[in-house]
Amino acid sequence: NTFARDGLVDLSGPVVRLASLTPEDLFVLLANVRRIMQDDAVALPDDALEAFMAHCSDRIGEAYFRTPRNTVTAFVNLLSVLEQNPGVEWSDLIEKIEVSEDLGEDMTEVDESTGAQDPGDDDLISFKL
């Protein structure tokens, strides 16, 4: 939308451009994920979130909070392993977590103007009733 500029937004389109998260935003996001996935009695301490974020920062730099999809996925995986293995400490797993920069590879074929993928050879994309 050509009118969506100078602070004006149009959220009705198929693709919404979001501002990058700050490290503080990512901390709040991870804390909310923790709140959803864990009971208060067994919830990771804030120190664990800080250690996780520091590990991600060391691995992929500032991309860990600017494009946080892989970071959040790794965090959810950490919580899942901790839930299913109650004898394991979070501090033993932090350094073993593999996090890679999100390159957006699943969106490479999306036309930015329409928000749709090129149909290519997909014969299931159209049909007649």
- Residue-number span of the structural domain to which 61 is assigned: 30-90
**pLDDT score, position 93:** 87
Burial of 30 (C-beta count, 10 Å sphere; 0-12/13-18/19+): buried
Residue 21 lies in a domain: no
| CA distance readout (Å), 50 to 19, 37, 53, 88, 89 | 22, 18, 5, 18, 15
Residues 6+ apart with CB under 8 A from 25: 65
What is the total count of domains within the chain?
Answer: 1
Q: What is the pLDDT of residues 85-122, one digit of tens each?
A: 989 899 888 877 766 555 555 555 555 555 555 656 55
Q: Provide the whole-model pTM.
A: 0.64
CB atoms within 10 A of CB 59: 18
Residue 46 lies in a domain: yes
Q: What is the pLDDT of residues 44-89, one digit of tens each?
A: 999 999 999 998 888 777 766 667 778 888 899 999 999 999 898 9
